[in-house]
Amino acid sequence: MRTASDVFAWIPALLDGLVTTLVVTLAAAALAVVLAVAAGLARGARSPALRSGTRIYVEVFRGTSALVQLFWVYFALPLVGLRLDALSSGILVLGLNSGAYGSEIVRGAIRAVAPGQWDAAFALGLSRVDTLRSVIFPQAVPAMLPSANNLLVELLKNSSLVSLVTLSDLTFQAQVLRAATLSSAEVFGVILVLYYALAWILSYGVRRLEGRLRWTRSVAGSKP
């Protein structure tokens, strides 16, 4: 049975892994937001080629394993002359994967906005871009956040996959400690708590943002 001092001795290694996990999660989340918005809008574009290309991207990344995608990028792409390090591979794959799921969230939230909002904006002379930025997105974003919250937590959990391409994230460091100490229950118990704490913090931040946006909208709507 490990003592508290033994567990505290693991902290430096686990903190190193925690930093890597956060970097992967937040960078992949930023990429996923960009891809989700772009793909969500492209699914409703007038160009058939753009709609078809976006649909292929979404279906491929939603319909295949994130682990296989990661292995393909990290191990197969070098065979055709494109080599990415483990960190870049992890961020790229997780961003692409989450972006594909996120695009459906964006598309659904935009379609949920009443069609009359578009008509009213066009009647006022707003362009499509201005309408999206000033009318549609302010109404659609609060509706996206609950599902985006779930997707962000899922992205955090999927970040553990990068340990399989030798990236020293939280899971990788736990595996090293387990092999060195033979304390599987204690080591994995600690990282379960750490992952839960990270998920709670991320979810809390998104919920606060959601509440802030809804409060801003309610204040704006109450003005004469």
User: 36-59, pLDDT tens digit by residue?
Assistant: 999 988 887 778 888 899 999 999
Residue type, 82: L
User: 139-193, pLDDT tens digit by residue?
Assistant: 888 888 889 999 999 999 999 999 998 888 888 888 888 888 777 787 888 889 8
Q: Is the dihedral of CA 175, 180, 184, 185 positive or negative?
A: negative
Number of separate domains in the chain: 1
Q: How far apart are CA 106 and CA 108, in angstroms?
A: 6
* pLDDT of res. 222: 46
- Confidence tier at 219 by pLDDT (50, 70, 90): very low
| Whether 187 contacts 171, CB under 8 Å | no
Q: How far apart are CA 202 and CA 206, in angstroms?
A: 6
Q: Is the dihedral of CA 9, 12, 15, 16 positive or negative?
A: negative
SS3 content of the chain, % helix, strand, coil (to 5): 85, 0, 15
**pLDDT over 90 percentage in the chain:** 41
pLDDT over threshold 80, residue 21 = yes
Q: How far apart are CA 76 and CA 144, in angstroms?
A: 35
What global pTM score does this model have? 0.87
* pLDDT of res. 137: 84
Q: Cβ–Cβ contacts within 10 Å for residue 107, how many?
A: 21
**CATH (domain of 218):** 1.10.3720.10
What is the domain extent for residue 95?
Answer: 4-222
Count Cβ atoms within 10 A of the Cβ of residue 176 and give its class: 0-12 exposed, 13-18 middle, 19 or more buried. middle
